[in-house]
Amino acid sequence: MAPLTRDEAQTRAEMLAVDRYTIDLDLTRGEQTFGSTTIIRFAAVRDGDTFAELRPAALRRAVLDGRELDPGTLADGRLPLPGLTAGDHELRVEADMPYSRTGEGMHRFTDPADGHTYLYTMCALTEAPLVYACFDQPDLKAVLEVTVTAPPDWTVLANGVATRAEGEPGRWTCAPTPPLSTYLLAVAAGPWHSVRTEHAGLPFGLHVRRSLAAHLDADAEEILDITRRCYDRYHEIFDEPYPFDSYDQAFVPEFNAGAMENPGLVTFRDEFVFRSAVTATQRQTRGMVIAHEMAHMWFGDLVTLRWWDDIWLNESFAEYMGYQVLSEATGYRDTWTEFAVRRKGWGYDADQRPSTHPVAPEPDDVPDTAAAWLNFDGISYAKGASALRQLVAWLGEKDFLAGINDHFARHRFGNATLADFIDSLARASGRDVQGWAARWLRTSGPDTLTPEITGGADSGDGWRLRLRHTGGRPHRLLLGAYDLAPAEGGGRDTGTVVLRERTAIDLPAGDGTGEHTFPGPRPDLLVVNDTDLTYAKVRLDPVSWRTARQVLPSLPGSLTRSVVWNAARDMVRDAELDPMEYLGTARRNLAAEPDLAIVEGVLDFARGQIADRYLPASRRGEALGLLGELAGELLARTEDGGDPGRRLTAVRVAIRSATAPGTLRAWWEAGSVPGGPVLDPELRWLLLHRLAVLGATDPREIQAEAGRDPSAAGEQGAARCRAALPDSGAKEAAWEAMFGEADTLSNRLFSATGQGFWHPEQHELLQPWTERWFPAAVALAERRGHALAEAAVNDAFPHVFGSDRLLRLGEEHLAGTELTPTLRRRLTDALDDMRRALRVRHG
């Protein structure tokens, strides 16, 4: 399909006004296609030609104002509409549409647990034409009126309340929506298990496939409680009431994203219905996603971007509000710590790659929808949310929310741009928000703040801070000064610090060095950007880093500790800190860390980045040994069973870091870890996967476990384990399943197979496949599109086999091969990550 250009969209928006889509979907036509009949009522403001988008298996009929159009004119997903005259028009399109197995358009899934089939739409960003004929751009909003024919025992869900038609089994009518963008259409159909309630006069519902019914029932009250609390909090801070007629949340299988903000019917990946034990951090993450998607009901659905250069207006706002509202409305009070230690690193990493871009790109930087797909990244989400947090610190929350409410009032059920948003904030605050936005939203790359401390020994002349600032943005931040605590009997406790003071400073725009003088002796530990108010890489001076290594768990405030851990993470990534020193710091401090989100975030970086990518093979065993020791200490500290989440985290890292199968095999045979936990399905597949990597299991045992767990997650776990076996035949079979032209794997089975394939332990065996990846991925991206191109890099690229040779080969393909935009962007990022890992590895 030809991407829609910004110029084409602007021309069409100037020509057309769309009133209504009447969409009739027939889901009873078999396993390959469904019927889609669309009537579009629209007006042309002048004479001219245009086109509608449609990507059918077969176009049966197209009728414009009673005149038959030639179906053969459909090309590249575009149906020409020539010779329009000014005035009202009606286009009727009848088509057979293809079901998807890649999570795009109308995805079809048959549950291996019970054989039931489920369907759901994913129309963002450009996939609506895989479901219905439309003018597929965000600024041509229209009413969506949907009817669906489904098997009689199915339930249909949609943006508006869906009701069964009397006397017509399987026929459903969905309430017309307010004006919406085409990408927000949502339909989900199947024999759903539902939990329904009512809140604030609106129907609320939770929906999941039947095989997960018991797990949803176990968590339904928690999910609904968070939903109600967030809904009420948004009504406290927003003047505009919730703008739709219901609030359904469907947890759907094989979903590519975390969730999608379809108004009235939010879709989530169904891994958020937990079927195994999880930590409090994972539950908090689910709560944040619920709050994030609800924020979109206002910012994204009520008021929508005009073109995709402003995707940050949707995602950054929802990301910020998700964390903030969850912390204000629920029992999760430390949400920003999880953001700092997990999400923010995503933003910093993306912002240092060649593909970095401003939070709000210039319109010309997003010339078409193919380019727009590339900006759903850590910059549009995490960096943008960080920028908004800094904006709130600068404006104050009162003026910020006043500007938001002005924005909603001016553009409700319409479209808006960055300029509109900035104007609303400026009106509410009287501040130069335009100048702030130019520095924060129109520039790329992170700032770096580096402290240099002199004086303040014992002379009483005070201490002086020179704060070097590169990157040029203005910052409002805190400096935290900490001292070693007094020890009993005199002296100082070298393992504990206390806060001396936090000082607010404003760094002006522009590179430079600021000078600050403070009374008294120099602090033992200075934390720049204490409590993490701004977005910048920070450094610790040598004295502060030596102190931090000894006292990290005693630092008051989880956000302060996350800033220190992030500083250490950045120093490793910039080859300024030996990765083994980071691991040694984790080994010394992490078992006593009070906040589980920090424990999980540090362990993920240590295991997934340092052990697998940043260390040469000669040091990897030592790294895994340190992580195993740390896991053992965490297990020892939780023997009383009082902290099951911390114990579960320890078990996970112990499994992932095992270098020999003995202990794992003993746990497997016993069905539990000594002292708990019992091996539930998630732990069993994690453990069996590690045994497969180590060559300590076989296909027969994997098949037996798949029979024990005949679920979709079990199917994916088995695919992951089979691909991990250190056997050339198993590797070839996995490779053919992923990249062979049969294309039988769904999106999630492809990802699972890719996640099982590459392991440092199998370096020699896998060398022949490293070079095969490049032509295989190029062909796959051409055949299977955006979602599988992403998965080919994210999940199936040899990230852990970084070498100068592989890097050169990748660069040659970037320079000399025609790649789809998605594959080019993701490969560029992967190679840059490899380049960074090699710099760190070579010191």
* Distance, C-alpha 455 to centroid of its chain: 45
Q: Which pTM value belongs to this model?
A: 0.97
Q: Which amino acid is at 797?
A: F
Cross-strand bridge partners of residue 207:
194, 250
Which residues have a Cβ under 8 Å from the Cβ of 437 and sit 6 or more positions away? Answer: 360, 418, 422
Which residues have a Cβ under 8 Å from the Cβ of 234 and sit 6 or more positions away? Answer: 242, 294, 295, 297, 298, 321, 325
- Looking up tokens 């497969």 gives 692
Residues 171 and 38 in one domain: yes
Q: Under DSSP, is residue 345 helix (H, G, I), strand (E, B) or coil?
A: helix
627 is written with which tokens? Answer: 């992580």
Report, in this order, helix, strand and coil percent for the chain, each rounded to 5: 50, 25, 30
d(CA 119, CA 113): 16
**pLDDT band (50, 70, 90) for residue 458:** low
Residues 356 and 418 in one domain: yes
Query: What pLDDT, on a 0 to 100 scale, did the predictor assign at position 363?
Result: 84
Q: Is residue 670 part of a domain?
A: yes
Residues 30 and 147 in one domain: yes
pLDDT digit string (tens) for 363-421?
889 999 999 999 899 999 999 999 999 999 999 999 999 999 999 999 999 999 999 99
How far, in Å, are 206, 224, 247, 250 from residue 198 at the CA level? 11, 10, 9, 16
- In percent, the amount of the chain with pLDDT more than 70 equals 100
Residues 36 and 74 in one domain: yes
DSSP 572-598: HHTTSS-HHHHHHHHHHHGGG-S-HHH
H or E stretch including 548? helix 542-551
Query: What pLDDT, on a 0 to 100 scale, did the predictor assign at position 541?
Result: 96
Residues 698 and 829 in one domain: no
Domain end position, chosen among 672, 698, 725:
725
Phi, psi angles (nearest 5°) of residue 694: -85, 0
Residues 169 and 311 in one domain: no
- Identify the burial level of 493 via C-beta atoms within 10 angstroms of its C-beta, where 0-12 means exposed, 13-18 middle and 19 or more buried: middle
d(CA 702, CA 707): 9
Residues 721 and 755 in one domain: no
Phi, psi angles (nearest 5°) of residue 218: -65, -30
Phi, psi angles (nearest 5°) of residue 59: -90, 115
Q: Is residue 31 part of a domain?
A: yes
> What does the H/E/C string look like for 464-486?
EEEEEEECCCCEEEEEEEEEEEE
d(CA 339, CA 384): 12
Q: Taking the CA atoms of the chain, what radius of gyration do you get in angstroms?
A: 28
Mean pLDDT value across residues 713-723: 98
| Degrees to nearest 5, angle at CA 164 with 158 and 169 | 120
Domain end position, chosen among 128, 156, 191:
191
Mean pLDDT value across residues 444-452: 97
Tell which residue, 10, 40, 285, has the closest CA to residue 142. 40
Query: What pLDDT, on a 0 to 100 scale, did the predictor assign at position 460?
Result: 67
Q: Is residue 767 part of a domain?
A: yes
Query: What pLDDT, on a 0 to 100 scale, did the predictor assign at position 569?
Result: 98
Phi-psi region of 811 (alpha: psi -120 to 50; beta: other; left: phi over 0): alpha
Is residue 293 part of the annotated active site? The answer reads yes
| Bigger pLDDT: 650 vs 642 | 650
539 is written with which tokens? Answer: 């450094």
CATH number for the domain harbouring residue 422: 1.10.390.10
Residues 714 and 837 in one domain: no
Residues 773/796, Cβ–Cβ less than 8 Å: yes
pLDDT digit string (tens) for 782-835?
999 999 999 999 999 999 999 999 999 999 999 988 999 999 999 999 999 999
47 is written with which tokens? Answer: 């004479």
Q: Is residue 434 part of a domain?
A: yes
841 is written with which tokens? Answer: 């590895």
Tell which residue, 683, 682, 686, 600, has the closest CA to residue 279. 600
pLDDT digit string (tens) for 491-547?
787 889 999 999 999 999 998 888 999 999 999 999 999 999 999 999 999 999 999
Q: Under DSSP, is residue 191 helix (H, G, I), strand (E, B) or coil?
A: coil
Residues 784 and 705 in one domain: no
- Give me the half-sphere count of Cα atoms (radius 13 Å) on the Cβ side of residue 341: 25
Find the catalytic residue in 94, 254, 293, 315: 293
pLDDT digit string (tens) for 84-123?
999 999 999 999 999 999 999 999 999 999 999 999 999 9
- DSSP at 75: B
d(CA 121, CA 104): 7
839 is written with which tokens? Answer: 């710099």
Q: Is residue 817 part of a domain?
A: yes
Q: Is residue 486 part of a domain?
A: no
Residues 741 and 681 in one domain: no
> What does the H/E/C string look like for 492-524?
EEEEEEEEEEEEEEEECCCCEEEEEEECCCCCC
Phi-psi region of 327 (alpha: psi -120 to 50; beta: other; left: phi over 0): alpha
Q: Is residue 804 part of a domain?
A: yes
DSSP-derived pairing of the beta strands 448-455 and 537-538: parallel
Query: What pLDDT, on a 0 to 100 scale, did the predictor assign at position 398?
Result: 97
- DSSP at 374: G
Residues 665/262, Cβ–Cβ less than 8 Å: no
- Cβ–Cβ contacts within 10 Å for residue 501, how many? 13
Which residues have a Cβ under 8 Å from the Cβ of 454 and sit 6 or more positions away? Answer: 463, 464, 466
Helices 786-794 and 763-784: crossing angle in degrees, nearest 10, is: 170
Residues 522/456, Cβ–Cβ less than 8 Å: yes
**What range does the domain containing 832 cover?**
727-843
- Cβ–Cβ contacts within 10 Å for residue 184, how many? 25
786 is written with which tokens? Answer: 């955006």
Query: What pLDDT, on a 0 to 100 scale, did the predictor assign at position 2?
Result: 87
628 is written with which tokens? Answer: 């195993």
d(CA 47, CA 575): 62
Q: Which amino acid is at 3?
A: P
Name the maximum alpha-carbon separation found in the chain: 96
Which residues have a Cβ under 8 Å from the Cβ of 51 and sit 6 or more positions away? Answer: 78, 79, 80, 81
Phi, psi angles (nearest 5°) of residue 516: -140, 140
pLDDT digit string (tens) for 665-688?
999 999 999 999 999 999 999 999
Residues 135/52, Cβ–Cβ less than 8 Å: yes
| Degrees to nearest 5, angle at CA 26 with 22 and 32 | 130
Residues 323 and 415 in one domain: yes
Q: Is residue 341 part of a domain?
A: yes
Mean pLDDT of the chain: 96
583 is written with which tokens? Answer: 């691991």
pLDDT over 80 (residue 172)? yes
d(CA 529, CA 516): 15
Cα of first residue to Cα of last residue in the chain, in angstroms, is 46
How many domains does the chain divide into?
Answer: 4
- DSSP at 250: E
Residues 37 and 95 in one domain: yes
Domain end position, chosen among 691, 725, 759:
725
Query: What pLDDT, on a 0 to 100 scale, did the predictor assign at position 94?
Result: 98
d(CA 190, CA 210): 9
pLDDT over 70 (residue 263)? yes
d(CA 451, CA 495): 23
Query: What pLDDT, on a 0 to 100 scale, did the predictor assign at position 459?
Result: 56
Cross-strand bridge partners of residue 479:
503, 528
Which residues have a Cβ under 8 Å from the Cβ of 127 and sit 6 or more positions away? Answer: 104, 105, 183
